[in-house]
Structure 1
Amino acid sequence: MTHPVKERDITWRREAARSFSRDREEPSLDLGAITRAVRRQARLTILWATAGAIVAVLMILGTLPRYTAVETVLLDEERGELLNQVSPLPNAVRSNTAVQSEIEIIRSRVLALNVVDLLELDKDEDFLSPPVGITERVLGLVSKATGTLADLLTPEPPAPSSSVSADGGTAEEGGLDFNLAVTDRDRAVRILRDRLSVSRAGRSLVIQIGFSDFEPRRAAMIARGYGIAYESFQLSTSTAIAAEAEEWLRDRLDVLEQRSIEAAAAVQEFRAANDLVQVRGDLLTEQQQSELASALVSASASAAEAQAQLESMESLLARSKQGEEIVTVPGLNGQLEPSSEALRSEYLDARLRYSRLVTQFGSEHPQAQDINERMQLLRDALKVQLEQATEAARVTYNIARSREKSLRTDLELTTGGSQSALALRGQLQQLEAIAETHAQVYRDYLQRLEVTIQQQGFPIASIKVISPAEIPRDASSPRKKMMLAAGIFLGGLIGVLIGTLREISVKPARTVSELRRNAGLRCAGLLPRRRSLKDTGALNARKRTLERLAQACDSTVLQNQGRLVAIAPLLPGLEKPSAMPAELAAHLSRSGARRVLLIFEDEAQISPATHAETGLEVVALRSVVDGIDVSGGDFSLIARRLREEFDVVLLALRPIADAYRSDPHAWAYDTTLLRIPWGKVSSDFVTDALADHPRFRDALSTTVLEDAELTVARKYMSSGSYEELEINA
């Protein structure tokens, strides 16, 4: 068997990464990973929070203190009700609307002008030219720069017409002259409104008027001036409105009075012209019609009642003629007549005695026959009375019927006037309605005039100052604690956001487990930076990693031949590119027990110090190639000669990412080692680079993370993992 036997249990493919770990589980919240991320980014967050605190302190130091004085005003509803009528709206709705309206009045330009005139602020140079702090200057420069940029992006306005002058007024003859030039009075008003604060105390009717200024005494003075100006504004406004309303109401009343008189005169003239006499508030014909209608209703009711009585008696008389026993004869008024009542009682008593005798002795008894004859006489008498009562009811009904007909005829004669009479009554009613409307409107306006006159003579404002402004002792701004807390919070938030972006971005390879899990590659460990080797932990970690690399090189067994091990960095820029190959060669020599040759592709990495530190043979790759005759371009002869002369040959190659062609030294690959810079490249970058060098990839035994920051690398390792225990051992 001439070919070497290679036993390797690793592969470069990323899909093989699952063979080094458990099957992937469902996504879950990894508290350990979150804790490690927080620990890694804590320094960045603290740094940004400190920067925010410094900026806040600079802003506090560069901001001039301001003092705020507050004037408290009460909207007195009881006084308002003396001046205004009660609104039909609910009290809660009216109160909210009224308070908001009063707040807008206080913020208005009109009230600011009154305060400026009252305190003569337009003549106060200190007020018009307040001091400016460093913070305000910086913000002003920023605002100016952004404003200039905004002006550049904003299209130019159209050119003004000839009718508008340069100062904003109209130049056209006969037009209105609006003087829009900015004066000291306007500047004072602008400053007042910028520093004014108006708020409502909860849901109450209390309004707090606050003013901020650099001078505490002036702040209190202006706040009190607002209270005085607000109260004066209330009085003057209510008086002016009442005066204007009175003047308008008087003019309107003169017109309404004349119209009311004319309408009343038209009614009287129409009555006199058409002989429409009025008695007790009604026209004569109307009164007669009302009386006849009432009498007709009463007569109709009497006739109906008489008809009902007649029909009842006729029904009883018919039943009596048919042989039915009738023992009661009703009267005309619904009550029984005394004679009829006596006959009824006597008949009922005889019938009772007759029934007893028949029960005891039979109907043939002489006394029973006498009683029967008596009963027949009584029935005849009752029948005669029923006939008489029926005839009397018929007479009463005829009389009532005749009276009803007579009243109906009279009413028809009274109401059956001509169409002209009806038209006259309609016109009269229309004229009366017009006259009444004018009279009612006149009375309403007259009542409103009386209320307006009372308002003018009632000089009471609907507000009251309950807490005059005092000179503030402490500055209201800048709010040092709040600004400092905000600076720390915002700075920390920026740090958290940056740290989060760093964590969720593509992560470079920093741990052995990441390389194994993400790229499917073995890793011998970490090689800390040489400047950190004074740390015992870093020195031990470097020694342990070099030993693992030596074991990886010895894992390829060749019978009676040496081994060619190629070492290549992934990228240039390692701290000391020649240090790691030299140290590995020293480990492989086993203190001189084996012949080890160290070959550098880059001659610049060879130095006398390398010979002195290792005590090994160190040559350049070019000298090796030139020293052996390669006929026909077969470089395998070089490899065979090197294996025969040396136990281990280490070939330190240039970075594979900078190779101009794929695997130019494939003739030397028995085993390859890949040097990956710690924290600079991702696992995807490693696998993609190896894909361009298939021979180097197939011979790859292990990798190593070089120039690691050990203190930082610990933050990326899982707590209690084997890797962390090895590093901290």
Structure 2
Amino acid sequence: MERRRMLQSDLPRAARLQPADAAGEGGIGEIVNFVLGLLRRQYKLMLASVAIALTLAGAYLWFTPPTYTAQAQILLKNSKAQFVKEEFVLADPVLTPTEIETQIQVLKSSAIAIAVIKELNLAADPDFVGAESALASHLRTLLKYFSPPDPAKTEAGATESTEFLIGAFDGRVDAHRAGFSNILEVSFSSSSPSRAAEIANAVAAAYINDQLNSKLEANHRAIAWLQDRLRELGEQAGAAEQAVDAYKMQHKIVSSGGKSIDEQQIAEFNARLMEARAQTADKLARLNQYESVSLSNAENLDSLGVAASDALANPIINTLRSQYLELQRRESEWVPRYGETHAAISELRIQMRNIRKSINDEVRRLAETSRSDYELAKKRQQELEKQLNNVVSTTHVNSPAEITLRKMESDAKTYRSLYETFQQRYMAAVQQESFPILEARVVDPALPPASKSKPKSKLILLVGAFGGLALGAAIGLLRDMMDRTFRTPAQVETCLRLPCFSVVPRMPAHATSGPREEAAESDSHPTRAVPTPHSVDSIVVGMPMSRFAEAIRYAKIGIDLNPSKSLNKIIGITSSLPDEGKTTIAASLARLIAHSGQRVIIVDCDLKRPSLSARLSPNAACGLVEVVTGRTPLEQAIWRDPKTNFAFLPVVRRAPLFHTSELLASEATRRLFERLRASYDFVIVDMPPLIPLVDARATASFTDCHLLVIEWGRTKIEVVKQALHSAPNVYENIVGAVLNKADTELMADYDQNCRDYYDIRHYTRYHSDDSFGEV
């Protein structure tokens, strides 16, 4: 525990020497470094993802048939001919935004679709109907021969076919307003450019024909009503005139060319009375219109303009109406953008209600004014009637027959006047029917498009490239996030609270290939000489200036300078999992120490899997177990390397060992290592891994320190933590760690701030071996 506290007291110094990303320095630079590192690590995956996405986009463009869209423009407002600018029976529509939207829906209605389908026989067009519909049509034809016709099913099938055609047509036609103008743009999509233009023009023509038919139908109804009314008024006028003539003949009243003063007065009063009656009727009609608008609370501003023409001439109502339409336009634009419950929408609707209230108040004021005018006109009419009665009673007191005659003549003139007025309206309606005025016309017919509208090749390829890049980046980021292995020394120091002494590079196969050299026999060790194979651990002697050898020196210096002890002579080399390279590190460290002239012995304590013994002493007859049990003297079990003179105590497996931990924790083993401590400068112990076996914990009693070997890019962080947590006595004795089998080129991508640290050029300046660059 004292050593651990000393090591932990030294950690703040190591933390201050960590790279920027490990020390927690944030900022835009760290983000840029992370992105660049991610691109360098995952660029192959990103390129593959982009290539796959572009391939799929190209396949989609190859197999998707092109679609061409033709467009025609329709002007809704068409000026009338100069000679027909007169009062028509039907009122002209007001082109408000609501009316324009209504015309757009008419353009896209089923009636227009059915008319175009019938005109161009689109039900037989394979491009329009589709292959599936054609197959269904053939199947229905075959079924007719095997089943009797059912009228109900036949009608249902025809209805489904019509609905399918209308649905297919609606899916290809589109209509919208061109900006804020009175021009409607209607477009149609098809696989044939000429067919698309033909159908778009047919839609425009069908819309104009529909407008013409609707006008003609309205004119027909108006003419029929005028005919009935005209016949009725003619009959009433004729009857009144015949009654006058009959009355004259009955009472023998003969009129001369001249008239008396009384008669002139009566005629004048009659004329004034007719005018007063007409004004009274006009005032009453206006009053009724205002009252009807007032009862509807003026909710529909368009109906206000049709019902009361004087209201449109009122500047106050016109101003309020313009404000209301502007607020209504804002409401239609703001609701999709801000939502129904937004405060601005509520305020806007309050303003609209206030404007409607003001319009309603103004309409009521006009109604009151009209009521006053009506009362005045009525009083005037009554006054004229009273005066006329007085004149008549005064002048013809003795001639009641003349009074009756005058009244009958007045009625006859009234009926005749109404008859002539309606006759003029009837003639105007007949002339309008013979020369119909349309409010729409085609200003720009559709032409076959020169290029396809769908699919957009550049856009799809661009989207595919960006989508593939984004997918590759996302998968690469996910791979980085799921990569819970050790990649940098900073990860070791941060996650394990251990100093990382060195990063040992992965050695390529050709670096250690070559013929195996047999051990040369000497006089002192004729039979127990360690062979000299071309293995990785021999690089520290064969290429002492290599990067691999320098990494082993880093580990040796780290052990020597460890502040937890004054001297670390017995060094245990262990790892969390098998095959992480601990045996190679142990052998390399022993060869390096022996090559420097110091006495060193390496002991293979991996009793259940003595891979080091199989490499250095494949023919050993006795080893550690025999020495500990006292069956063989130590000197007879030691092998020596003739090149560096390091000693090796192997393990010989003759039978399965079940209690290896008890053997390593025994007093005999401790005495053996005390003897080795006295005889050698360093004792390197190749220990078993921590996860599968408990043997490493048994060696903590006689080892001075442990060196943890971690395989770069393979060993999981959680695995190492669990291994150290399960062996606390080993963890307390670990002086540092070594990242083994590292790809130094890839490490530069994982540690952007320390890229120069892994640059091979810094090492090549201090050696002259041409093969150094390979290792």
Write out aligned runs for 1:325-340 (5 A): none
Write out aligned runs for 1:268-347 (5 A): 280=269
**Counterpart in 1 of 2:8?**
11
1:496 to 1:627, Cα distance in 2 relative to 1, 3 A: closer
**Counterpart in 1 of 2:357?**
none
Among candidates 641, 648, 651, match of residue 617 of structure 1? 648
1:706 to 1:246, Cα distance in 2 relative to 1, 3 A: farther
1:15 to 1:221, Cα distance in 2 relative to 1, 3 A: same
**Counterpart in 2 of 1:241?**
218
Among candidates 571, 577, 583, match of residue 565 of structure 1? 571
- Structure 1 residue 251, shift from structure 2 partner: 6.6
Pairing 1:456–2:433 present: yes
Pairing 1:584–2:584 present: no
Pairing 1:211–2:202 present: no
1:722 to 1:466, Cα distance in 2 relative to 1, 3 A: closer
- Contact 1:563/1:670 (<8 A) preserved: yes
- Structure 1 residue 505, shift from structure 2 partner: 6.9
- Structure 1 residue 231, shift from structure 2 partner: 2.0
Pairing 1:465–2:466 present: no
Write out aligned runs for 1:392-541 (5 A): 455-501=432-478, 508-531=485-508, 540-541=546-547
**Counterpart in 2 of 1:231?**
208
- Structure 1 residue 618, shift from structure 2 partner: 5.4
Identity of aligned residues (%): 21
For 2:477 and 2:565, locate their aligned partners in 1 and report how far apart those are by CA, in whole Å: 54
- Structure 1 residue 700, shift from structure 2 partner: 1.1
Among candidates 22, 38, 41, match of residue 40 of structure 1? 38
Q: Provide Cα deviations, 1:305-331, integer angstroms capped at 9, x if missing partner.
A: xxxxxxxxxxxxxxxxxxxxxxxxxxx
Q: Provide Cα deviations, 1:393-440, integer angstroms capped at 9, x if missing partner.
A: xxxxxxxxxxxxxxxxxxxxxxxxxxxxx9xx99x99xxxxx9xx999
Q: Provide Cα deviations, 1:135-179, integer angstroms capped at 9, x if missing partner.
A: xxxxxxxxxxxxxxxxxxxxxxxxxxxxxxx99969xxxxxx984
For 1:168 and 1:540, locate their aligned partners in 2 and report how far apart those are by CA, in whole Å: 95
- Structure 1 residue 219, shift from structure 2 partner: 2.4
Q: Provide Cα deviations, 1:478-525, integer angstroms capped at 9, x if missing partner.
A: 211110001111222223334455566786432123333454321022
For 2:31 and 2:641, locate their aligned partners in 1 and report how far apart those are by CA, in whole Å: 42
For 1:121 and 1:596, locate their aligned partners in 2 and report how far apart those are by CA, in whole Å: 96
1:460 to 1:280, Cα distance in 2 relative to 1, 3 A: closer
- Contact 1:46/1:495 (<8 A) preserved: yes
**Counterpart in 1 of 2:749?**
715
| Structure with the larger RCO, 1 or 2 (CA within 8 Å, 6+ apart) | 1
Pairing 1:112–2:113 present: yes
- Contact 1:717/1:724 (<8 A) preserved: no
For 2:24 and 2:234, locate their aligned partners in 1 and report how far apart those are by CA, in whole Å: 93
For 2:449 and 2:701, locate their aligned partners in 1 and report how far apart those are by CA, in whole Å: 89
For 2:426 and 2:594, locate their aligned partners in 1 and report how far apart those are by CA, in whole Å: 122
**Counterpart in 1 of 2:396?**
none
1:256 to 1:37, Cα distance in 2 relative to 1, 3 A: farther
Q: Provide Cα deviations, 1:209-253, integer angstroms capped at 9, x if missing partner.
A: 322222333223222222322222221122223334554676789
1:9 to 1:233, Cα distance in 2 relative to 1, 3 A: same
- Structure 1 residue 117, shift from structure 2 partner: 0.6
- Structure 1 residue 194, shift from structure 2 partner: 1.8
For 1:687 and 1:187, locate their aligned partners in 2 and report how far apart those are by CA, in whole Å: 67
For 2:482 and 2:697, locate their aligned partners in 1 and report how far apart those are by CA, in whole Å: 32
The amino acid of 2:197's aligned partner reads A
For 2:150 and 2:420, locate their aligned partners in 1 and report how far apart those are by CA, in whole Å: 53
Describe the SS at the equivalent of 1:620.
coil
- Structure 1 residue 114, shift from structure 2 partner: 0.6
Describe the SS at the equivalent of 2:188.
strand
For 2:756 and 2:464, locate their aligned partners in 1 and report how far apart those are by CA, in whole Å: 42
Describe the SS at the equivalent of 1:527.
strand
TM-score by length of 1: 0.58
**Counterpart in 2 of 1:701?**
735
Describe the SS at the equivalent of 1:476.
coil
- Contact 1:45/1:499 (<8 A) preserved: yes
1:217 to 1:632, Cα distance in 2 relative to 1, 3 A: closer
- Structure 1 residue 673, shift from structure 2 partner: 0.9
Pairing 1:636–2:667 present: no
For 1:12 and 1:682, locate their aligned partners in 2 and report how far apart those are by CA, in whole Å: 27
The amino acid of 2:586's aligned partner reads P
**Counterpart in 1 of 2:56?**
55
Pairing 1:673–2:707 present: yes
For 2:599 and 2:216, locate their aligned partners in 1 and report how far apart those are by CA, in whole Å: 117
Q: Provide Cα deviations, 1:588-627, integer angstroms capped at 9, x if missing partner.
A: 2226642322415142524654459977525239799999
- Contact 1:15/1:520 (<8 A) preserved: no
Q: What value does the CA root-mean-square deviation take over the aligned residues?
A: 5.3
The amino acid of 1:201's aligned partner reads A
In structure 2, stretches of 5+ residues that fail to align are: 134-148, 239-265, 274-378, 387-410, 513-538, 619-639, 764-775
The amino acid of 1:10's aligned partner reads L
- Contact 1:116/1:185 (<8 A) preserved: no
TM-score by length of 2: 0.55
**Counterpart in 2 of 1:549?**
555
Describe the SS at the equivalent of 2:7.
coil
Pairing 1:692–2:697 present: no
Q: Provide Cα deviations, 1:101-135, integer angstroms capped at 9, x if missing partner.
A: 22222222211111111011213345423599xxx
Pairing 1:597–2:602 present: yes
